[in-house]
């Protein structure tokens, strides 16, 4: 916290210094108001939103040379990211004290949370061909349904614009990492397109932290293909098709206590995501959008042939046998937007959602499905007073109905560029297929998890909107949480091991969020531009049954990103994050030490069509773990080149 406060003071000093001493040399920064869709399911400028939202653009990810989406999310506000080791191992995201199963993840409108596990594993999601990531904090079940108790992460593929262009890249670096790929984007008449293909080979480091005695390297292989095809229809209509394919193979270890170095253990996965959208105005005050999507994934686990306890050195044969899990998720949604005069926009729609899951260890083809209706009213008075009110009803085939609602309100004082915002919402999460049906474990009598969410905040723009300051308070309460417990009486009908999931959990999370972002553009010697942004989150969590902190949630987190462009072709970006101490298991056991880690990226534009770059991860060679016993990279260096070319069609 002290380091972050020092950083904010330095930011303020830089802002004041540049604007007071060199105002006459500054080139005005043209600020466009970011538009967000996922907060209301309609395009709304950020200045008119009362929700806590963050946007990460594809341009920002490309500038910092992030390889994976999880790298970008690590720097986000109110988000906790945990990886079980190196690239390709399980990587999950939690928001504002929630669990990983309470974060809904969408890719191009397809819900990708696993039907069996309940959460989404980001292991194979690279940044290739991604246009933007929208992160909504707080309960969002009113619009998005189950799994959105903590928040929503919405990932969107790039859309082709302007004349057709192509680009290709090649990167080589530490751990024999080799990445290559290419992309074609553009627009021709009524058709726009964006297509990409990439490959990543990574010799890797041990999934179990090598400093604990692990010796085997765990490799990672990844193929990713994606595309977006859009067609402009008469009368402002649009038809769009999206596709993403991810294929990964990752070496694994056992990071439980005591950790074990496992030989020949692997996880192989393949995921296909299909979605289509048809949007068409019916009149000048009424339009509709139809969305159909499917996400299907198969993952094969190979237990390996030998394992070594890194503490004692004792070797043994891993338990278990090869097991493949297959999941499928379908979504159909029909949404209508009706403009009632200038101030009122009504949104209502229907959603059908279906999840299927099975594996080779006895879980037969099981289905969880739901039908839902939702309605929302958006008010905008004089571009100053705005708010939303909405309600949703979900009906499930496994546990019954769930009703959620959400209210937001905000006021923008244009004269001082100050925005006040607040929201209150309820949320729910349906039990997963494993919770309900896993052989000798699942409990078919489970109910939904429930939550209440409240936040209040203020956003302040200064110096012609080149500086933005934000602060706020949030509070969440979770009830009927699904907890695995040892209870011979309750579990007897479902488990001979006397262990099963039941609705007994209750928890709370509250805290503060602060953020600052500054952009300065000049035409001075060794100073073309300066970009600084930082965020700090304080999260106090409690398991209300015993008063302990929630698993793996740090009290303090902050990140700081500083971009400096001394000349037109050269840019440096220094990015760091701090994650406070946390507990790896329940009841405040297995403490994990806090850490701070920094990365440095240097981009150099050799010409308008060729860019070379160098990225250094873990710049100061910090020794740390995100999860107890899990490996993290030592100082790593990557060199790359990217080539762009216009296409003449």
* Digit-coded pLDDT (tens) for 352-382: 999 999 998 888 889 999 999 999 999 999 9
Cα separation, 141 vs 394, in Å, equals 10
Cβ–Cβ < 8 Å for 112, 124: no
pLDDT for res 523: 83
In the predicted structure, residue 110 carries a pLDDT above the cut 70: yes
Q: pLDDT-based confidence at 219, cuts 50/70/90? A: very high
Q: What would the pLDDT profile of 389-434 be if each residue is shown by its tens digit?
A: 999 999 999 888 999 999 999 999 999 999 999 999 999 999 999 9
User: Does the pLDDT of residue 16 top 50, yes or no?
Assistant: no
The average pLDDT across 176-182 equals 96
Q: Which is it for the CA torsion 369, 351, 107, 93, positive or negative? A: negative
Q: How far apart are CA 134 and CA 107, in angstroms?
A: 11
Could you give the 3-state DSSP secondary structure of residue 147? coil
> How confident is the prediction for the chain on average, in pLDDT?
91
3-state secondary structure 28-49: CCCCCCCEECCCCCCCEEHHHC
For residue 136, give both structure tokens: 């909504």
Tell me which CATH code domain 2-646 carries: 2.40.170.20
Residue with tokens 């057709």: 164
Q: Which of 231-235, 371-375, 586-590 has the lowest mean pLDDT?
A: 586-590
DSSP annotation string for 259-282: PEEEES-EEEEEEEEEEEEEEEES
- pLDDT tens digits, residue range 528-550? 999 999 999 999 999 998 889 99
> Quick check: 292 pLDDT over 50?
yes
Paired with 52 in beta bridges are 137
Tokens of 442: 């699942």
Q: What is the pLDDT of residue 28?
A: 45
DSSP state letters, 436-447: HHSTTT--TTPP
Dist. CA 620–CA 578, nearest whole Å: 13
User: Scanning the structure block, which residue is given the tokens 């699942």?
Assistant: 442
User: Of 101, 91, 92, 114, which is closest to residue 151 (Cα–Cα)?
Assistant: 101
> Where residue 649 falls among pLDDT bands split at 50, 70, 90?
low
pLDDT tens readout for residues 564-581: 999 999 999 999 999 999
Whether residue 61 is predicted with pLDDT greater than 90 in this model: the reply is: yes
Structure tokens at 387: 């708010």
> How far apart are the C-alpha atoms of 590 and 608, rounded to whole Å?
52
Q: Phi and psi at residue 261, in whole multiples of 5°?
A: -85, 115
pLDDT at residue number 469: 96
**Tens of pLDDT along 276-288?**
999 999 999 999 9
Tens digit of pLDDT for each residue in 67-87? 999 999 999 999 999 999 999
Closest CA to 582 of 554, 623, 556: 554
73 and 87 Cβ atoms separated by less than 8 Å: no
Between 585 and 153, whose confidence is greater?
A: 153
Parallel, antiparallel or unpaired: strands 79-83 and 52-57: unpaired
Name the residue with higher pLDDT: 8 or 608. 608
Residue 264, preceding peptide bond in cis (omega within 30° of 0)? no
What DSSP element (H or E) covers 10? helix 2-21
Mean of the pLDDT values across residues 223-234?
96
């Amino acid at each position: 916290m002290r380091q972050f406060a020092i950083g904010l003071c330095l930011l303020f000093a830089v802002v004041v210094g540049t604007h007071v001493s060199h105002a006459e040399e500054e080139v005005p920064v043209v600020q466009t108001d970011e538009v967000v869709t996922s907060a209301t399911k309609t395009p709304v400028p950020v200045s008119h939103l009362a929700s806590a939202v963050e946007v990460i653009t594809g341009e920002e990810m490309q500038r910092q040379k992030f390889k994976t989406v999880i790298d970008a999310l690590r720097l986000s506000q109110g988000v906790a990211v945990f990886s079980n080791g190196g690239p390709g191992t399980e990587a999950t995201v939690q928001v504002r004290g929630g669990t990983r199963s309470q974060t809904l993840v969408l890719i191009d409108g397809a819900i990708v949370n696993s039907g069996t596990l309940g959460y989404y594993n980001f292991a194979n999601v690279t940044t290739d061909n991604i246009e933007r990531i929208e992160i909504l904090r707080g309960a969002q079940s009113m619009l998005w349904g189950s799994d959105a108790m903590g928040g929503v992460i919405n990932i969107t593929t790039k859309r082709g614009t302007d004349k057709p262009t192509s680009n290709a890249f090649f990167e080589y670096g530490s751990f024999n990492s080799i990445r290559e790929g290419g992309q074609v984007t553009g627009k021709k008449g009524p058709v726009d397109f964006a297509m990409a293909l990439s490959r990543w080979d990574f010799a890797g480091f041990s999934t179990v932290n090598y400093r604990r005695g692990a010796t085997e390297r765990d490799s990672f292989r990844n193929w990713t293909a994606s595309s977006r095809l859009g067609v402009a229809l008469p009368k402002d209509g649009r038809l769009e098709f999206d596709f993403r394919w991810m294929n990964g193979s990752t070496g694994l270890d056992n990071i439980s206590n005591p950790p074990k170095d496992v030989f020949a253990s692997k996880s192989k996965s393949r995921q296909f995501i299909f979605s289509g959208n048809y949007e068409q105005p019916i009149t000048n005050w009424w339009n509709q959008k139809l969305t159909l999507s499917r996400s299907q994934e198969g993952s094969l686990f190979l237990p390996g042939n030998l394992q070594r306890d890194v503490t004692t050195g004792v070797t043994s044969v891993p338990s278990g046998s090869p097991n493949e899990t297959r999941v499928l998720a379908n979504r159909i949604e029909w949404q209508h937007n009706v403009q009632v005069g200038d101030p009122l926009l009504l949104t209502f729609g229907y959603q059908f959602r279906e999840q299927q899951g099975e594996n080779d260890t006895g879980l037969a083809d099981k289905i969880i499905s739901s039908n839902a209706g939702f309605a929302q009213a958006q008010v905008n008075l004089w571009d100053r007073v705005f708010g939303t009110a909405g309600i949703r009803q979900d009906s499930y085939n496994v546990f019954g109905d769930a009703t959620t609602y959400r209210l937001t309100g905000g006021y923008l004082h244009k004269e001082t560029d100050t925005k006040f915002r607040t929201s209150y919402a309820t949320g729910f999460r349906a039990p997963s297929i494993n919770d309900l049906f896993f052989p000798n474990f699942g409990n078919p009598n489970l109910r939904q998890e429930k939550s209440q969410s409240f936040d209040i905040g203020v956003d302040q723009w200064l110096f012609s909107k080149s500086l933005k300051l934000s602060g706020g308070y949030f509070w969440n309460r979770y009830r009927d949480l699904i907890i695995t417990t040892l209870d011979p009486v309750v579990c007897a009908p479902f488990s001979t091991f006397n262990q099963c999931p039941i609705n007994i959990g209750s928890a709370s999370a509250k805290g503060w969020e602060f953020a600052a972002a500054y952009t300065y553009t000049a035409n001075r010697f060794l100073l073309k531009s300066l970009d600084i942004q930082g965020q700090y989150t304080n999260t106090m969590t409690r398991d209300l049954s015993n008063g302990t902190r929630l698993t793996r949630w740090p009290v303090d987190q902050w990140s700081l990103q500083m971009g400096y462009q001394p000349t037109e072709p050269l840019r440096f970006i220094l990015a760091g994050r701090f994650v406070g101490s946390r507990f790896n298991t329940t009841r405040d056991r297995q403490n994990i030490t806090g850490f701070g880690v920094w990365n440095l990226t240097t981009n150099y534009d050799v010409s308008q069509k060729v860019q070379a770059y160098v990225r250094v991860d873990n710049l100061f060679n910090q020794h740390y773990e995100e999860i107890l016993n899990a490996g993290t990279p030592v100082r790593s260096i990557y060199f790359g080149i990217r080539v762009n070319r216009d296409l003449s069609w």
